[in-house]
Amino acid sequence: MDNNKNDILKKVYLVYLAMAVLGIGIIAKVFYIQVVEGDEWREQAKKLSLRYEKIDAIRGNILASDGSLLAASIPVFDLRMDAGNTHYNDDFFYENVDSLAYFLSNLFKDRSKQEYKQLMIKGRKGNNRYLLLKRGITYNHLKKVRKFPIFKLGKFKGGIIAESRSRRELPFRWLAFRTIGWDKEGTNNDIGLEGAYSSTLEGESGQRLMQRIGNGVYRPLNNESEIEPRNGHDILTSFDINIQDVAEDALMKQLIANEADHGSAVLMEVETGFIVAIANLGKNKEGLYEEKYNYAIGESSEPGSTFKLASIISALDDGLIKLSDT
């Protein structure tokens, strides 16, 4: 009986000793990681939570001969909120969120006051440090938003985040639309002046450091390594916007009168050879005319013998030849 008791005690002591050794080993490892390897692992964790993001340069403008804007990059802002802001307490937030929701709803008119309020309360409860409120607001709107409750405390205390980007605009809408063209990122289907002079217009991108704040969401982090973008150059064309308008209007009338499928009108300044207007109109699926293809360039061909008549008329007009010449 005594022998069995001693055997049991030995086994218990062995298990206890093994657990004690294991516990000491775990404590020692934790101490080693925290003290000896701590800086290395903290730096590694920091690197994993940071990434660089490209900052697009502001694309250059395309100008008519008189300096009028044919295509321009307009700055817009994505409005976000640091709903987990610790510079104010919950009491302050809940006292002011109703007023803030009212002003946002009244300004943007895309959500009701209650929808904005619920969105911000949800962000506060979820500690969302990068809550999206509205995309693509104008600078004038941003100036008003900065005076709203909570946000008027400032960038850090108020938790307002405004991310700048640019949006391409055509001030004259469809005028010379196909000739101006477009340059869509990630595609090879770039056309017109935008595509041909893309390298001049686009500038050089910069980069900024972003910090992960959870759930795959990153927010900008001010850092010395941030590289500012270099904005693109403007290009000045020979287009006369008034002549372009007249050319498109005249072409439209002739296409309608003759029930034509498509047509082009190209006007050149004879003294300089500059093109002052290019109009291209063709029928779409609805049977309406629009600038859908640059027929003047895309369907161009050698003029051949038909150009001899124009050459002779020009020579006669300048007195270089006479009808009696042989």
Chain mean pLDDT for the chain: 86
% residues pLDDT > 90 (the chain) = 48
Work out the average pLDDT over 255-269.
94
Is there a domain that residue 325 lies in? Answer: no
pLDDT at 136: 93
- At 28, the amino acid letter reads A
Question: Model confidence over 9-46: pLDDT tens digits?
Answer: 667 777 777 787 788 878 877 776 677 666 665 665 55
Work out the average pLDDT over 39-63.
75
What backbone phi and psi angles, to 5 degrees, belong to 191?
A: -135, 170
Q: Which has more confidence, 133 or 12?
A: 133
Q: Counting Cβ atoms within 10 Å, is residue 70 exposed (0-12), middle (13-18) or buried (19+)?
A: buried
Residue 313 pLDDT grade (very low, low, confident, very high; cuts 50, 70, 90): confident
Is there a domain that residue 266 lies in? Answer: yes
**Alpha carbon distance 4, 196 (integer Å):** 94
Domain shared by 125 and 213, yes or no: yes
Say how many C-beta atoms besides its own lie within 10 A of residue 8's C-beta: 10
Ramachandran class of 231: left when φ > 0, alpha when ψ lies in -120 to 50, beta otherwise: beta
**Alpha carbon distance 253, 143 (integer Å):** 46
Work out the average pLDDT over 253-266.
94
Asked whether the beta carbons of 113 and 101 are under 8 A apart, the reply is: yes
- Give yes or no for residue 212 having a pLDDT over 80: no
Is there a domain that residue 278 lies in? Answer: yes
Question: CA of 80: how far to CAs of 49, 87, 145, 161, 323, in Å?
Answer: 20, 17, 11, 5, 77
CATH of the domain at 224: 3.90.1310.10
Question: Model confidence over 71-100: pLDDT tens digits?
Answer: 999 989 999 999 988 888 999 999 999 999
Domain shared by 23 and 79, yes or no: no
Of 126, 99, 128, residue with least CA distance to 113: 99
pTM of the model: 0.68
Q: Which of 203, 229, 255 is the last residue of a domain?
A: 229
Is there a domain that residue 127 lies in? Answer: yes
Is there a domain that residue 236 lies in? Answer: no
Asked whether the beta carbons of 194 and 235 are under 8 A apart, the reply is: no
**Alpha carbon distance 184, 206 (integer Å):** 19
Does residue 84 sit in helix, strand or coil?
A: coil
Domain of 158? 52-229
Q: Quote the number of domains for the chain.
A: 3
Domain shared by 11 and 74, yes or no: no
